[in-house]
A and B are shown apart, each in its own frame.
Chain A
């Protein structure tokens, strides 16, 4: 059974960089047919897609975050990562990693991590 687990800093200072990893177990991140996404949810609010990395290694990002986001993959470690720079209080949220569809027009999220809370505060 595939499992995803987020890890990283739970408290980030304003203007610094948020860094999270998503470890994939029970399957290989390099197997075809899927991409790997990050999604966030501010406290008490709805979901926001951050972006994804496809099997090819190419990426798609939410235009509203594109200038600050980098998603990368570490195949030997079977994990993918999120970096969000120049953070502010508006970036405080639960961050989820998820397995997603193979192509952008069919980007379903069928497996999710449990989520990790990241607070931006000095």
Chain B
């Protein structure tokens, strides 16, 4: 079981807005940056959001990230069929000797 909790699945229809949550604790999300990755089937993950709400160049502004306390969210506006993928949140955890934690992943289905 991942320390960062994500819903295993989410779905939406084209044009809709979808949000994916990521819940952690004071030792990770509560005190460090949150990142989001998109993994299309059969490919390597891609950085989608860094430092809570920043988009790398080339990532459409339909994708946005937010953080509040020990939780974070990824929002996808104007859902498109090509957004169907697995989405992972990640954060540094200050516990033990420190490590990067990933959420368990959310499989997004575009209906």
Are the C-beta atoms of A105 and B33 separated by less than 8 Å?
yes
Q: How far, in angstroms, from A105 to B35 measured CA to CA in the complex?
A: 11
Q: How many residues of B contact A (CB 8 A)?
A: 26
Q: How many residues of A contact B (CB 8 A)?
A: 23
B90-110 at interface with A (beta carbon < 8 Å)? 90, 92, 96-105
Kindly report which residue of chain B lies nearest to residue A94, judged by CB atoms: B44
Q: Does B37 interact with chain A (Cβ within 8 Å)?
A: yes
Q: Does A121 interact with chain B (Cβ within 8 Å)?
A: no
Are the C-beta atoms of A104 and B47 separated by less than 8 Å?
no
Residues from chain B with a CB closer than 8 A to the CB of A112 are 44-46
Q: Does A78 interact with chain B (Cβ within 8 Å)?
A: no
Residues from chain B with a CB closer than 8 A to the CB of A115 are 44
Stretch at the interface among A16-24, A25-33, A58-66: A58-66
Contact of A109 with B47 at beta-carbon distance under 8 Å, contacts A46-B88, A104-B92 already known: yes
Please give the distance in Å from A84's CB to the nearest CB on chain B. 16
Are the C-beta atoms of A47 and B102 separated by less than 8 Å?
yes
B64-109 at interface with A (beta carbon < 8 Å)? 88, 90, 92, 96-105
Residues in chain A within 8 A of chain B (CB atoms): 37, 46-49, 60-64, 66, 96, 104-110, 112-115
